[in-house]
């Protein structure tokens, strides 16, 4: 059934039979599922039983291939079953982590709606709570979660690190059964992922029986992503926690082109280029139902919106706007409004930096335009996959280039995308700045021996080779051993008793400093 490696990482080669899944589904969940779907998808056949059995699993599949429902089907099934039997407890069963607040809000909505439909089928309230905790969550919402914890907590890497150091809330994390890391490929290649890997080790220490579920778009190398996801069971022997890789790849039809706004990229003036580009963009928007445009910066997003409104006022400056911007610097209300309008088909076009490139359900998109190179094959496929998001629809993408270098880069990138030649990601290791931040958070939460701390940190794939000397230097820095740092207003944040080998929180403002400076973005 599975190809086994010495590291505990396995590839699952054969899917389960649909009868096995049917055998574990609660009647209410089963009736709901077949009221929405004709049959189980391939990712569900590979993954649902593994998640039901609390196995660590990495599901890799193209955009729009039902990965999220694969992750949640077993979990919702268990919660519904426990509710109907009267044994549903007031605790967090599942923690869901994604890189984007927009994706978290979308997941929250997409879980509440099925639960409401299941309640109609069951003829009773199930009492299953979904809670979203991000930077947008209000103080009153946090207080409600503290009093009555959600059964499924939806959060970001940064907010997860905060709740792990929150003395009252952390009590709700003592018996988590599943942790879902969505879009794991988008986290593994940067320091946000390094930060998250340590949070996962902290969460696993609180909930030793927790299963880790990774959801990834097409990416390479999958074995390394799986190791990043699960970490080491025993750092002294280098043995990884077991993990099953479900690489569910199938050909999704794509209509891809690299296009130039002018016939001559060399001799065209800047003014000609800009004018022709906006004429081209407007023509593409008007010839499609809904278009999503990706820029590479937030400033470019606003600039594109403004130019389109100024040049084509009849198309975009009406009383009911047909175009909108979406990026992380905008207010929560604005972002929610854009997502809702896009999902309901009220917008002709949305321009985004990166905030809509991951798995959020944004309704029907029939064209994606990339302004300039996305810089990686995987990111190009991810962005273009926002169009034709359903399983068997065609993804249509157009990359607009403005100079010769961009033309060559995008042509090669598009060729690689068509041939499914995915670039390999690099996972950072031994980032001492991230380690210092997390050690600070650990000291705030509780006292801990340095040896236990070293074991916890070495459990992370990103710190599998960390030397004790490097950890000691981080502790010396955090505990203010280097007095000369005070000249630069850098003071001790933790205490470190070298006789007992213990560390802990130092100073009344430590928690405030940590909470307001967390993250690596």
Q: Using one digit for the tens of pLDDT, what is the confidence trace for 451-485? A: 999 999 999 999 999 999 999 999 999 998 876 66
What confidence score (pLDDT) does residue 318 get? 64
- Would the CA dihedral through 356, 214, 21, 252 be positive or negative? positive
Task: Give the span between the Cα atoms of 327 and 239, in whole angstroms.
Answer: 41
What confidence score (pLDDT) does residue 219 get? 77
Q: How confident is the model at residue 2 (pLDDT cuts 50, 70, 90)?
A: very low
SS3 of the chain: helix, strand, coil, percent, to 5: 45, 15, 40
What confidence score (pLDDT) does residue 6 get? 46
Q: How confident is the model at residue 319 (pLDDT cuts 50, 70, 90)?
A: low
- The answer to whether 126 and 482 have CB atoms below 8 angstroms apart is no
Rounded mean pLDDT, 317-338:
79
Which of 101-105, 252-256, 339-343, 433-437 has the highest average model confidence (pLDDT)?
A: 433-437
Task: Give the span between the Cα atoms of 163 and 154, in whole angstroms.
Answer: 12
Give yes or no for residue 147 having a pLDDT over 80.
yes
Question: Could you give the dihedral angle defined by the CA atoms of residues 128, 134, 139 and 144, in that order, rounded to the nearest 10 degrees?
Answer: 10
Which of 210-214, 286-290, 362-366, 413-417 has the highest average model confidence (pLDDT)?
A: 210-214
Structure tokens at 437: 């931040």
Arithmetic mean of pLDDT over the chain? 89
Rounded mean pLDDT, 63-74:
85
Integer CA distances (angstroms), 128 to 78, 146, 172, 211, in order: 11, 16, 16, 20
Higher pLDDT pick, 388 / 407: 407
Integer CA distances (angstroms), 407 to 261, 265, 412, 452, in order: 12, 9, 9, 53
Rounded mean pLDDT, 479-497:
76
The mean-pLDDT minimum among 4-18, 55-69, 212-226 falls in 4-18
Give yes or no for residue 167 having a pLDDT over 90.
no
The mean-pLDDT minimum among 159-163, 195-199, 327-331 falls in 327-331
Give yes or no for residue 70 having a pLDDT over 60.
yes
Rounded mean pLDDT, 367-378:
88
Task: Give the span between the Cα atoms of 281 and 286, in whole angstroms.
Answer: 9
Share of the chain above pLDDT 90, in %: 59
Give yes or no for residue 3 having a pLDDT over 50.
no
What confidence score (pLDDT) does residue 510 get? 85
Share of the chain above pLDDT 70, in %: 93
pTM for this model (two decimals) = 0.83
Give yes or no for residue 10 having a pLDDT over 60.
yes
Rounded mean pLDDT, 246-264:
84
Q: How confident is the model at residue 486 (pLDDT cuts 50, 70, 90)?
A: low
Structure tokens at 253: 């039809």
- The answer to whether 325 and 350 have CB atoms below 8 angstroms apart is yes
Q: Using one digit for the tens of pLDDT, what is the confidence trace for 265-276? A: 888 888 999 999
Rounded mean pLDDT, 32-57:
94
What confidence score (pLDDT) does residue 392 get? 62
Give yes or no for residue 4 having a pLDDT over 60.
no
What confidence score (pLDDT) does residue 389 get? 60
Task: Give the span between the Cα atoms of 364 and 424, in whole angstroms.
Answer: 30
């Amino acid at each position: 059934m599975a190809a086994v490696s010495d590291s505990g990482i396995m590839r699952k080669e054969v899917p389960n039979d649909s009868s096995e899944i049917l055998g574990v589904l609660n009647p209410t969940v089963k009736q709901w599922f077949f009221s929405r779907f004709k049959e189980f998808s391939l990712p569900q056949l590979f993954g649902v039983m593994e998640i039901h059995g609390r196995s660590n699993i990495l599901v890799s599949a193209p955009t729009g291939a039902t990965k999220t429902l694969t992750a949640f089907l077993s979990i919702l099934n268990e919660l519904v079953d426990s509710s109907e039997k009267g044994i549903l407890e007031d605790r967090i069963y599942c923690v869901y982590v994604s890189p984007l607040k927009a994706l978290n809000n979308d997941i929250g909505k997409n879980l509440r709606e099925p639960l409401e439909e299941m309640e109609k089928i069951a003829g009773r309230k199930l009492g299953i709570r979904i809670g979203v905790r991000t930077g947008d969550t209000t103080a009153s919402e946090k207080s409600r979660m503290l009093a009555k914890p959600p059964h499924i907590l939806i959060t970001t890497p940064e907010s997860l690190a905060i709740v792990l150091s929150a003395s009252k809330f952390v009590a709700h994390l003592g018996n988590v059964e599943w942790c879902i890391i969505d879009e794991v490929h988008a986290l593994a290649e940067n320091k946000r992922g390094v930060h998250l890997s340590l949070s996962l080790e902290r969460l696993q220490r609180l909930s030793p029986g927790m299963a880790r579920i990774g959801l990834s778009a097409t990416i390479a190398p999958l074995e390394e992503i799986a190791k990043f996801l699960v970490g080491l069971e025993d750092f002294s022997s280098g043995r990884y926690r077991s993990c099953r890789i479900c690489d569910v790849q199938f050909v999704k039809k794509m209509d891809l082109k690299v296009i130039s706004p002018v016939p001559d990229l060399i001799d065209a003036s800047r003014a000609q280029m800009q004018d022709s580009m906006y004429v081209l963009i407007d023509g593409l928007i008007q010839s499609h139902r809904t278009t999503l445009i990706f820029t590479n910066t937030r400033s470019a997003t606003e600039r594109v919106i403004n130019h389109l409104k100024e040049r084509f006022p009849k198309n975009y400056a009406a009383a009911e706007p047909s175009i909108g911007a979406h990026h992380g610097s905008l207010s929560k209300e604005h972002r929610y409004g854009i997502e809702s309008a896009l999902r309901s088909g009220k917008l002709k076009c949305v321009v985004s930096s990166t905030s809509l490139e991951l798995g959020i359900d944004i309704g029907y998109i029939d064209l994606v335009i990339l302004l300039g190179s996305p810089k990686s094959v995987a990111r190009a496929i991810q962005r273009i996959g926002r169009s034709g998001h359903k399983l068997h629809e065609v993804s249509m993408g157009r990359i607009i280039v403005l100079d010769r270098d961009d033309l060559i880069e995008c042509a090669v990138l598009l060729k690689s995308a068509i041939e499914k030649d995915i670039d390999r990601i690099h996972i950072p290791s031994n980032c001492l700045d991230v380690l210092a931040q997390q050690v600070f958070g650990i000291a705030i939460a509780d006292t801990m021996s340095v040896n236990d701390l070293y074991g916890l940190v070495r459990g992370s794939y990103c710190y599998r080779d960390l030397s004790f000397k490097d950890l000691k230097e981080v502790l010396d820095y955090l505990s203010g051993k280097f007095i000369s740092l005070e000249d630069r207003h850098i003071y001790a944040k933790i205490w470190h008793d070298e006789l007992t080998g213990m560390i802990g929180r130092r100073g009344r403002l430590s928690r405030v400093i940590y909470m307001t400076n967390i993250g690596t973005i």
